[in-house]
Amino acid sequence: MRVISSTALLAVAAAAVHALPINYPPGSEQGSPPAPATTAAPSPAAVKRAVDQLTIILTNQHSAAITTRHAIEPGVPKPVDPQQKEVKEGKIEKGAKGVYIVSPNYIGSVFVNDAKFPASQHCTQIEVSMKQGKKGFDISNVTGFTLPIICGCEAADGSIYESGCGHDLVGDAKKDPAKACKNWIQSENACANPNRDNTKASGKFVPAPFFEACARESYTYVDDHDANRWDFCKKNTLSCCVGPSCPKRVPYRPKGSPSAPVPSAPPGTRPKDGSPNPPGPGAPPAPGAPPAPAPPAPANPKTPPPPPSPPAPGRPEGKKAKGRKSPKGPKGPKI
């Protein structure tokens, strides 16, 4: 019997395989590899969910690491990280960023403190509401203050709407005893707010002296609603900065406040280029600016008025020169 070596068997098998016909998919040219499969488009529900979500980015510009703790209303969607894992507590190192995502109907807050202390109820809070398919946010110092926080989001026209107070209230209180915290909790590194329950019913609309610099920029009592930014965020990102070195803008003050800057944009906004709103009438002059000219002295009613100026040459007396009217300047937004 003739014995065939294994090498010969492999050669015969290889020749048989090469002789088999290759069936290409319809529409493809013979000898060309098949076209790659088409990637399925995301479902409309997935697209809508991505559009309706809000991504909150926390940048730590505090002098040390910070700790965060989430609190949400019962029954609302839970905040998640970019990997869709629920977030409850966290730590953000100095100079680092933290990210969490919230969905429609979410209502909750994030308590922020120096990482050496607990994120207690007396911390500065980032509050976000996604009710009725809208995006609203504010910074709250109603229960207390630990660190300055400013948050901002982009409106449809590119303006940046902000809420929050960038003042280092603890440092300010050390310089001015009149602003000292009345209820400092050393174990929490926090100043508890004694005016947290000021409401319309109480007839009190003033913050405690320690919190006064943040009034109307963050919630310093329950009815301090000028700090609220409701349905202004038309994009999907809310950027927050923690620490006294965060960028500051000209504070918004309601119309009629004495010696207060009058913004050239709606409350809580700054121009798209990021520059601060210029101060309006009544604002103190910028450092190094020349003093404003003194107003003219009032006329003495006993002094007779000066004689009228003679008419211009070539124009009959009593006639006004013809010409175009001076164009009026642009009107600013109503405050």
pLDDT for 179 equals: 93
pLDDT for 161 equals: 82
For the CA atoms of 7, 11, 14, 16, the dihedral, rounded to the nearest 10 degrees, stands at: -130
**Cβ-count burial 139-167 (b if 16+ within 10 Å, e if not):** bbbbbbbbbbbbbbbbbeeebbbbbbbbb
Which regions in the chain score pLDDT beneath 50?
1, 9-10, 12, 17, 19-20, 22, 24-25, 27-28, 250-290, 292-293, 295-296, 298-299, 301, 303, 310-335
What strands, in cross-sheet order, belong to the sheet with 136-140?
A: 89-92, 66-72, 107-114, 124-129, 136-140, 229-230
| CATH numeric code, 48-270 | 2.60.110.10
Of 260, 265, 296, 267, the closest CA to residue 281 belongs to: 260
Give CA–CA dist 167/213, Å, rounded.
7
Q: How far is CA 275 from its chain centroid?
A: 15
- What stretches of the chain show up as alpha helix (H) in DSSP? 6-19, 44-52, 169-175
pLDDT for 184 equals: 95
Give the tokens for residue 179.
Answer: 């602003």
pLDDT 10s digits, 53-112: 999 999 999 999 999 999 999 999 999 999 999 999 999 999 999 999 999 999 999 999
